[in-house]
């Protein structure tokens, strides 16, 4: 068996063990991301045939965090109810029956155990088709349950060391498109997603998309998400872990140019360990 330098990475607390991580800002980090994190094979509504197209991860939010994902791509819908409605996760309208409270519980429990890890909750889609979405209730729930952990957007330029020194609790970035009903003291702006533009993307198409994306100049540092996902008409999400391992190896150029690398079934590749290595290399290179 070939030895992997990332084989012994502690995925529960890998960020805490990045060499000189305190030098980096959150916007400088390279984040392993879980694409459409609310749709997984252990969800209550998982069904093999439909799930072949709608399911993107192997297990729950808690499991994803424990296995190293630190940026969760999230798509929420809303069902009105009495006295309060329910926020549910979906993929193009197909529901997993996981709800927002599960995510909040998982984040709080994880950070209780691992207080120096950081998490991006990227609420990429708020709404489900033409259905009403209650932004005010969404805001109030997150502020009430995660407000004590939310990093202010005003602290975007602080290093991880400065964030740790300022608070032992604030470890979560809440990212969403702007709305007058969202409290901008807690919510960062939208996280731009760079994807191929097609629901059917073969491996060669994906490689060209990534190459073009990374070759396009960006101005300034900010959180953005590269969708490294491949789909076929019959097969749904493709097994591309070997390609992920090849393309994003820390000794190649691509990974160092990324912010969030969002993949399906992220745990099946080496992306968590590779981000650990790439962040260590990046932090060391910034020494004065």
Q: What number does CATH give the domain 24-285?
A: 3.20.20.190
CA 245 to chain centre: 18
| pTM for the full predicted model | 0.95
The pLDDT tens digits of the residues spanning 240-285 come to 999 999 999 999 999 999 999 999 999 999 999 999 999 999 999 8
pLDDT surpasses 50 at 1: no
pLDDT surpasses 90 at 199: no
Residue holding tokens 């995925």?
A: 11
Sequence ranges of the domains in the chain: 24-285
pLDDT surpasses 80 at 6: no
Please tell me the predicted confidence (pLDDT) of residue 195: 86
Q: Which two tokens stand for residue 186?
A: 């807690």
pLDDT mean over 192-197:
88
Please tell me the predicted confidence (pLDDT) of residue 97: 96
Q: Is the dihedral of CA 155, 158, 162, 168 positive or negative?
A: positive
Torsion of CA 104, 110, 114, 117, to 10 degrees: -50
Summary count for the chain: helices (H), strands (E): 8, 12
Which residues are CB-contacts of 51 (< 8 A; sequence separation ≥ 6)?
41
The pLDDT tens digits of the residues spanning 59-110 come to 999 999 999 999 999 999 999 997 888 999 999 999 999 999 999 999 999 9
pLDDT surpasses 80 at 236: no
pLDDT mean over 211-238:
86
pLDDT surpasses 60 at 288: no
């Amino acid at each position: 068996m070939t030895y992997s330098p990332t084989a012994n990475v502690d995925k529960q607390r890998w960020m805490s063990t990045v060499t000189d991580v305190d030098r980096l800002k959150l916007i400088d980090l390279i984040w392993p991301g879980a694409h459409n994190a609310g749709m997984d094979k252990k969800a209550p509504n998982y069904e093999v045939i439909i799930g072949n197209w709608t399911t993107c991860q192997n297990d729950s939010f808690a499991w994803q965090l424990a296995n190293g994902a630190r940026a969760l791509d999230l798509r929420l819908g809303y069902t009105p109810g009495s006295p309060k409605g329910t926020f549910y996760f979906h993929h193009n309208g197909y529901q997993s029956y996981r709800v927002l409270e599960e995510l909040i519980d998982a984040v709080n429990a994880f950070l209780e155990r691992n207080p120096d890890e950081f998490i991006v909750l990227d609420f990429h889609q708020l709404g489900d088709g033409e259905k009403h979405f209650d932004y005010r209730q969404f805001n109030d729930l997150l502020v009430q349950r995660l407000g004590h952990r939310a990093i202010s957007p005003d602290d975007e330029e602080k290093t991880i060391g400065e964030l740790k020194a300022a608070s032992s609790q604030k470890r979560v970035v809440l990212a969403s498109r702007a709305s007058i009903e969202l409290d901008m003291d807690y919510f960062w702006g939208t996280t731009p997603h760079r994807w191929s533009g097609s629901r059917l993307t073969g491996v060669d198409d994906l490689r060209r998309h990534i190459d073009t994306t990374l070759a396009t100049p960006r101005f300034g540092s900010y959180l953005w998400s590269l969708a490294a996902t491949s789909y076929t008409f019959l097969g749904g999400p493709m097994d591309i872990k070997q390609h992920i391992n090849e393309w994003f190896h820390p000794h190649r150029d691509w990974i160092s140019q990324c912010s969030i690398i969002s993949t399906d079934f992220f745990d099946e590749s080496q992306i968590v360990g590779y981000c650990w290595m790439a962040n260590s290399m990046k932090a060391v290179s910034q020494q004065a």
